[in-house]
Amino acid sequence: MSILVSGATGFIALHVVSDLLKQDYKVIGTVRSQEKANKLRKQFDNNPNLSFELVSDIAAPEAFDKVFKKHGKDIKVVLHTASPVTVETTNYEKDLLLPAVNGTKSILESIKKYAADSVERVVITSSYASVMNVSKEGDGSIVYTEKDWNPATWENCQIDGLNAYCGSKKLAEKAAWDFFEENKNVVKFKMSTINPTYVFGPQLFDEDVNDKLNASCELINSIVKNNPQVEYLLENVKGHFVDVRDVAKAHLVAFQKDEAVGRRLLTSNGRFAYQDLVDVINEDFPQLKGKVIVGKPGTGKQSYGTFPGINNNRSKEILGFEFISLHKTVHDTAAQVLKKEGKL
């Protein structure tokens, strides 16, 4: 039996693939090009349990058909992580909504067509973006749980990159649950979603630490690199965090535990303000003294009441493991960047 991981090149997906291989699963990863497959094959030391299929654009009609035509009977678990992660676009439909929503629908349609009797579990990588209401980000009286939904619609989310990204995640997740509801008598699988907040933590492979990192880790990279936008980020960025190693673990628990069936697993380990990230970096890396922003040390918590909270006790109970702390996730992310630069 195999596990299909879509978007295997991704920041989160690489940790998922690594955890799956450590637990001796056979993994089929979808990637956009042969070059990407070759690179990953090498990075995973030609692990015989890892193979690849090309899906060059998840937005294309029937994008996953050939994968399930070929492997459908062997695939028992599908982890759909592929989705565009950016807020830096103005072509909201092409760059965000269509790949997110069509990609999710088409992987589920392919399962229905070619693997309705064999796929047992599906885990969709959704997001906290699918839970929260972007227009209420300044409301400290709200406490979100797994039951809440971003009210975004296809039309009203197309106002800026942030709204469109959050809308893409909400509409994709909603499409998945709707598909499940409409087809639960036709397909064998049970479904769960993982809804992470900002995901920090190291890249699986040190060599993938580039000048610019994936969207969430770039917040920390920007401090270490003292990028010009840090002043703006210090004023504006606050939210909730989770470490990538915990998000990966959650993907495995989601298909391994019966309690996770039918659940939205909201993975978050608490609030942060950008000042908190700045503080960890200043405290832990004296070699950066005088070279990075300092802000007002120790004041991050003062802004915690100015944005919604999260109660994800139910998800934590189901997942059943201790989450990595803010200090460790920020430390490990920054340390890997410094190591790459020869400054550790």
Question: Which residues contact residue 49 at a Cβ distance below 8 angstroms, ignoring those fewer than 6 apart?
Answer: 21, 24, 25, 26, 27
The single residue among 216, 268, 275, 329 that binds ligand NDP, judged by CB under 6 A, is: 216
**Token pair listed for 217:** 């880790």
Indicate which residue of 26, 76, 147, 169 is catalytic. 169
Q: Does 57 bind ligand NDP (CB under 6 A)?
A: yes
Q: Does 261 bind ligand NDP (CB under 6 A)?
A: no
Query: Which residue's entry shows tokens 């040190």?
Result: 206
Question: Which residues contact residue 156 at a Cβ distance below 8 angstroms, ignoring those fewer than 6 apart?
Answer: 163, 167
Min dist. Cβ of residue 286 to ligand NDP (A): 28
Site for ligand NDP in 155-194 (CB under 6 A): 169
Q: Does 144 bind ligand NDP (CB under 6 A)?
A: no
> Please, what is the Cα angle at 205 between 342 and 4, to 5 degrees?
170
Q: What is the DSSP letter of 230?
A: H
The contact pattern for ligand NDP, residues 76-115, with x = CB under 6 A and - = no contact, is -----xxxxx-------------x----------------
- Amino acid at position 121, single letter: R
Piece of the chain touching ligand NDP by CB under 6 A; list 154-162, 210-218, 254-262, 276-284:
210-218
The single residue among 196, 202, 295, 300 that binds ligand NDP, judged by CB under 6 A, is: 196
Min dist. Cβ of residue 252 to ligand NDP (A): 15
**Token pair listed for 310:** 């999260």
Strands 143-144 and 309-310: parallel
CA distance linking residue 100 with residue 83, whole number of Å: 5
Min dist. Cβ of residue 290 to ligand NDP (A): 30
The single residue among 12, 108, 171, 293 that binds ligand NDP, judged by CB under 6 A, is: 12
Active site residue 169: yes
Q: Does 10 bind ligand NDP (CB under 6 A)?
A: yes
**Token pair listed for 338:** 């410094």
- Amino acid at position 338, single letter: L
Site for ligand NDP in 122-141 (CB under 6 A): 125, 127
| Angstrom distances, CA of residue 184 to CA of 17, 100, 176, 192, 260 | 28, 22, 11, 13, 17
The residues that touch ligand NDP, with contacts defined as CB under 6 A, are 7, 9-13, 32, 36, 55, 57-59, 81-85, 99, 125, 127, 169, 196, 198-199, 214-216
Catalytically annotated residues: 169
